[in-house]
């Protein structure tokens, strides 16, 4: 009995070791890899007035559009100010932007972004008056109004000194817009749905189609590296099919790529980067030139002698020692490359030069993108 117990323990240890040593795959949901056609946001824009500012609004003499908008608004309310001398600084003209969510129903709310157009100093505490938000077709899809929150701090002293934190001329209104018109997109009438890969790739597109067809045979077809077409089945509606398909998992693939940001000294390498056989040596050569002028004076009581300055130069060469060639065998992985470069003790900027030199030698099997 004890013999069998020991044998089971050994087999369990071997199974756990094999499971731990096996490579882990980064499987992602299809909803995180693709974007469904037609299921997207729509940009809205509007022009409005923010009132109730504490003397930080537009100067009406410098912003004629603010003056005209204020006069037109007051006329609609029955107040005639065409010949009046308006000199208030409590009003600011603003541009209002918003993103209309997909399938947004009439009566739902969304957030607004408000930005000053004139010379207003701050929108903090102001109230946006009723502003229609228009789409690209010129139709009003929502109406916005509410109190502007900037999340900034601004203070000014009597001597002219000021302190500003954040951007006081731009703010947001949480839930400040009400949807008045819906987008006429009927998902129930769609028999085919195209899915667009966020990172186009032949292998990923084929894997997405294979995963879907394994669960729903004949429902998906990869048209190109970007588009995978989903067909409605007889048993499920398009809405039900999309809800089930988007939760299937797939392992995305990516090309070997090295992204370099030379300004910040940042290097990002994918796991598929491979190196052919190459030898690397990195060192620093420092040449120092020192100039130390010397004064030469004539002997005492000599006639015709002059005091002159004679330059004396010393040149030294300091070459860093102790670093040997690093040899990388063909087909080594990213971890081996990073470990080898770290063994040389190179800085990120030196590593950028090394990678570019390896690429120039034809030994880096990856694409280099410099930002």
What pLDDT is attached to residue 22?
A: 39
What pLDDT is attached to residue 331?
A: 57
Q: Which residues of 191-214 are buried (b: 16+ CB within 10 A; e: fewer)?
A: eebbbebeeebeebbebbbebbee
What pLDDT is attached to residue 255?
A: 84
Series of mean pLDDT values for 10-residue runs along the chain (371 residues): 44 38 64 90 95 91 90 89 82 96 92 94 92 94 94 67 80 94 83 92 94 93 94 89 93 86 78 74 54 67 67 56 52 64 70 79 81 79
Would you kindly state where each structural domain of the chain is located, as residue ranges?
42-152+164-179, 186-250, 258-287+314-370
As beta bridge partners, residue 46 has: 96
What pLDDT is attached to residue 164?
A: 72
Contact 257, 274 (CB under 8 A): no
Contact 275, 364 (CB under 8 A): yes
Tokens found for residue 99: 């993103």
Nearest to 132 by CA among 178, 72, 73, 77: 178
Task: Give the separation between CA 209 and CA 198, rounded to whole angstroms.
Answer: 15
What pLDDT is attached to residue 133?
A: 96
Full strand arrangement of the beta sheet holding 192-197:
34-36, 192-197, 227-231, 220-222
Task: Give the separation between CA 133 and CA 95, rounded to whole angstroms.
Answer: 10
As beta bridge partners, residue 267 has: 260
The predicted model scores a pTM of 0.68
DSSP string, 141-177: EEEEEEE-B---EEEE-TTS-EEEES-TTEEEEEEEE
What pLDDT is attached to residue 43?
A: 95
Contact 239, 248 (CB under 8 A): no
What pLDDT is attached to residue 167?
A: 86
What pLDDT is attached to residue 21?
A: 38
């Amino acid at each position: 009995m004890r013999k069998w117990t020991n044998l089971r323990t050994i087999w369990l240890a071997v199974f756990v070791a094999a499971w731990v040593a096996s490579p882990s795959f980064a499987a992602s949901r299809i909803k995180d890899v693709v974007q469904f056609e037609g299921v997207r946001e729509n940009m809205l824009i509007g022009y409005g007035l923010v009132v109730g500012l504490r003397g930080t609004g537009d100067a009406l003499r410098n912003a004629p559009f603010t003056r005209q908008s204020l006069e037109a608004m007051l006329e609609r309310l029955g107040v005639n100010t065409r010949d009046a001398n308006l000199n208030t600084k409590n009003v600011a003209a603003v541009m209002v932007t918003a993103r209309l969510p997909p399938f947004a129903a009439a009566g739902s709310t969304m957030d607004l972004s408000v930005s000053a157009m004139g010379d207003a100093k701050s929108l903090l505490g102001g109230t946006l008056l009723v502003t229609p938000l228009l789409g690209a077709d010129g139709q009003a899809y929502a109406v916005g109004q509410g109190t502007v929150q900037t999340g900034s701090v601004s203070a000014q002293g009597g001597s002219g000194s000021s302190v500003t934190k954040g951007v006081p001329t731009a703010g947001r209104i949480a839930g400040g817009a009400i949807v008045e018109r819906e987008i006429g997109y009927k998902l129930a009438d769609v028999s085919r749905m195209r899915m667009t890969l966020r990172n186009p790739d032949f292998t990923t597109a084929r894997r997405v189609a294979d995963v879907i067809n394994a669960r729903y045979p004949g429902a998906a077809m990869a048209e190109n590296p970007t588009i995978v077409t989903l067909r409605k089945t007889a048993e499920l509606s398009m809405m039900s099919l999309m809800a089930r398909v988007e939760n299937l998992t797939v392992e995305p693939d990516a090309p070997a790529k090295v992204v370099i940001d030379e300004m910040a000294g940042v290097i990002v390498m994918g796991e598929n980067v491979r190196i052919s056989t190459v030898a690397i040596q990195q060192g620093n050569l420092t040449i120092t030139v020192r100039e130390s002028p010397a004064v030469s004076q004539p002997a005492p009581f000599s006639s015709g002698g002059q005091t002159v300055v004679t330059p004396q130069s010393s040149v030294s060469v300091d070459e860093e020692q102790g670093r040997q060639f690093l040899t990388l065998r063909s087909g080594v992985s990213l971890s081996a490359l990073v470990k080898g470069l770290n063994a040389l003790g190179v800085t990120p900027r030196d590593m950028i030069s090394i990678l570019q030199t390896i690429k120039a030698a034809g030994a880096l099997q990856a694409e280099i993108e410099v930002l």
